[in-house]
Structure 1
């Protein structure tokens, strides 16, 4: 998912540099960090001797939040492209 965010960031550079474009870039960068946190929590869940379920639930919640942000950004990008 981090790769998806980075791909959209690099493809988005092709368009004109409007103010909405900067906002979308920043949202995708934050979204990449959200997916990184999800991956870290998932790794911690696999490695934890005790409390792995808590990390697993946290990874699920963070991942779903990242997907939500990605959907919002994708919709805003789709409706702002001419």
Structure 2
């Protein structure tokens, strides 16, 4: 019975939601980089690809932290701290990719 509770607690944690979404957002950033490279031949060079790569690294850090939080779920205090870190990094990544996309749309960067 206790094993079921531990598995249920792990699957209901925030980290179990952050991990797959972070992986998806890394793919979104990679796609954005490819699209910017294609657009660069027509519209000239920009720094959007570099900023999108930095945001992808943020999502990678978020995914790694959420994975570690799930992996170390038997150490409750450490797992909670790492989960908070993953959440903060993930939210910063969301804000960053939104800013990059907005600035790219208005051709500021």
TM-score w.r.t. the length of structure 2 is 0.68
Find out whether 1:44 has 2:71 as its counterpart: no
Deviations 1:21-40 (A, max 9, x none): 1x211110000000000000
- Are residues 1:7 and 2:34 paired? no
- Aligned Cα RMSD in Å? 1.3
Counterpart Cα distance in 1 of 2:104 and 2:28: 14
Superposition map of 1:20-59 within 5 A: 21=46, 23-48=47-72, 49-50=74-75, 51-59=78-86
State the partner residue of 2:91: 64
For the Cα contact (< 8 Å) 2:36–2:48, is it kept in 1? no
Deviation at 1:80, TM superposition (A): 1.2
Query: How big is the shift at 1:17?
Result: 2.5
Structure 1 position 13, deviation (Å): 1.5
Structure 2's unaligned 5+ residue stretches are 1-24
Q: How much has 1:59 moved relative to structure 2?
A: 0.3
Give the distance between the partners of 1:36 and 1:27, measured in 2 at CA. 14
Moved segments of 4+, more than 3 Å: none
User: Residue 80 of structure 1 aligns to a residue in which SS?
Assistant: coil
